[in-house]
Amino acid sequence: MKSTKILERILIAIPTMLIIAILIFVLMRIMPGDPVDKMMGKGGNINIEEVQALEREFHLDLPISAQLKIFLSGIFHGDLGMSFQERRPVWELIAERIPPTLELALCALLFSLIISIPIGIISAVKQNSLIDRLGMAFAFLGISTPAFWLGIVLIIIFSVKLSIFPVYGRIAYVYKPIHITGMYVLDSILSGNWPALKDSIMHLVLPSVSLGAALAAVTTRILRSSMLEVLRADYVTLARTKGLSEYMVITKHALRNALIPTVTVVGLQVGMLLGGNMIIETIFGWPGLGRLVVTSIFNRDFPVVQGAVMFYALIYVAANLIVDIIYTYLNPKISL
């Protein structure tokens, strides 16, 4: 893909993001529930002057249009505002939550690819075999299982009954590695802290499986069906008649083309992995972005919600763009 095209796509994304930001801004403010009430807590004894001071501090005493102006000018300066609850810059809060969410999403993706690529290929090559039938049955089960219930059942089986994996959290406190990237697996490898590595991986297994199961199922099915289609194509027959080994035919000729539809699906699902996992984060006590958004919505913490939602939109746009770039790499005939 030409760089001008990429630039164009990014430029188109900017007004979309702005509209989203304004929409969220207005919607948050018509939401019932007063953020100052939430900030003060329900302890009673509320001093009216304190309330006014808070409102002034966060510009809540101004009309909505004036607030919007402050918000928009902030965005152009790269400032997302201050969190009402934590009194810290929003970008700081979001930046803190990205590594755990990213770590979980990447592990879920890894899990789903490890499962789906071999099963997808074998199922297609050995169509209607036992492996194929079993694989497809599991894939079907995978797309029909609600992730949050799967998470709970996995906890009941593997944490409660068998006590193999921990129930909750990212890592045992004693093992916590020094902060480098914020992703504990990476941090513990970088700092050579092997007990921490083991512990963080143990904490990652169940949430990754619950989150990645559906993706694994979808990917397996897509890969299998596109492999089947490709294996019947003329150029695969030609490759076979040329006397290439079956292994070469499958990996060099068929797989590459079968991967195109798969990449689309996986790419778009990664956006979902990052954005739709607040339930998994809630169940496993994972301090990620999804949980931040949910608690901020309940606390009427406007700036955090605005910032996080814009971040989600950004991920979506980026995921689409990356999918398109990989597309052109896999099939140079497609030009965008």
Partner 1 sequence: MTGLFVTQKDLQKNIKFNEKKIWWKNFKHSIRELIKCRTAFIGTIIVLSFILVAVIAPVIAPHDPLKASIIKRFIPPFWIEGGSTTYFFGTDEIGRDIFSRIIYGARVSLLVGLITVSISGVLGTVLGSIAGYYGGRFDAILSRIADLLLSFPDLIFAIFLMAITGPGFFNLILILCFKSWVNFFRLSRGEMISEKTKEYIEAAQALGESDVQIIFKEILPNIIHSLLVLATLRVGYFIILEASLSFLGLGIQPPTPAWGSMINSGRAFMLTSWWISTMPGIALLVLVLSINLLGEGLRDILDPRLKLE
Q: Which positions touch partner 1 (CB under 8 A)?
A: 16, 19-20, 24, 27, 30-32, 127, 140-141, 143-146, 148-149, 152-153, 155-156, 160, 221, 224-225, 228-229, 271-272, 275-276, 278-279, 282-283, 290, 293-294, 297-298, 305, 309, 312-313, 316-317
Distances (CA, A) of 159 to 108, 110, 164, 227: 19, 22, 6, 38
Q: Which residues contact 6 (CB under 8 A, 6 or more apart)?
A: 321, 325
Contact indicator for 227, 258 with CB cutoff of 8 Å: yes
Smaller CB separation from partner 1, 248 or 297: 297
**By CB neighbour count within 10 A (0-12 exposed, 13-18 middle, 19+ buried), where does 57 fall?**
middle
Residue among 81, 35, 27 at smallest CA distance from 61: 35
Least distance (Å) between residue 176 CB and partner 1? 25
Least distance (Å) between residue 187 CB and partner 1? 27
Overall residue count recorded for the chain in this entry:
336
Least distance (Å) between residue 229 CB and partner 1? 8
Smaller CB separation from partner 1, 119 or 196: 119
Smaller CB separation from partner 1, 155 or 197: 155
Q: Helix, strand, or coil here: 191? A: coil
Least distance (Å) between residue 53 CB and partner 1? 26
Least distance (Å) between residue 162 CB and partner 1? 13
Least distance (Å) between residue 265 CB and partner 1? 12
8-state DSSP, 70: H
Smaller CB separation from partner 1, 183 or 317: 317
Q: Residue 184 and residue 191: Cα distance in Å, rounded? A: 10
Smaller CB separation from partner 1, 160 or 336: 160
Smaller CB separation from partner 1, 48 or 130: 130
Smaller CB separation from partner 1, 196 or 291: 291
Smaller CB separation from partner 1, 143 or 205: 143
Q: What burial letters (b/e) apply to 229-258, b meaning 16+ CB within 10 Å?
A: ebbeeeebeebeeeeeeeeebbeebbbebb
Residue among 320, 140, 304 at smallest CA distance from 213: 140
Q: Residue 121 and residue 225: Cα distance in Å, rounded? A: 9
Residue among 138, 271, 279 at smallest CA distance from 216: 138
* Residue 285 CA neighbour count, 13 Å, CB half: 9
Least distance (Å) between residue 149 CB and partner 1? 4
Least distance (Å) between residue 97 CB and partner 1? 14
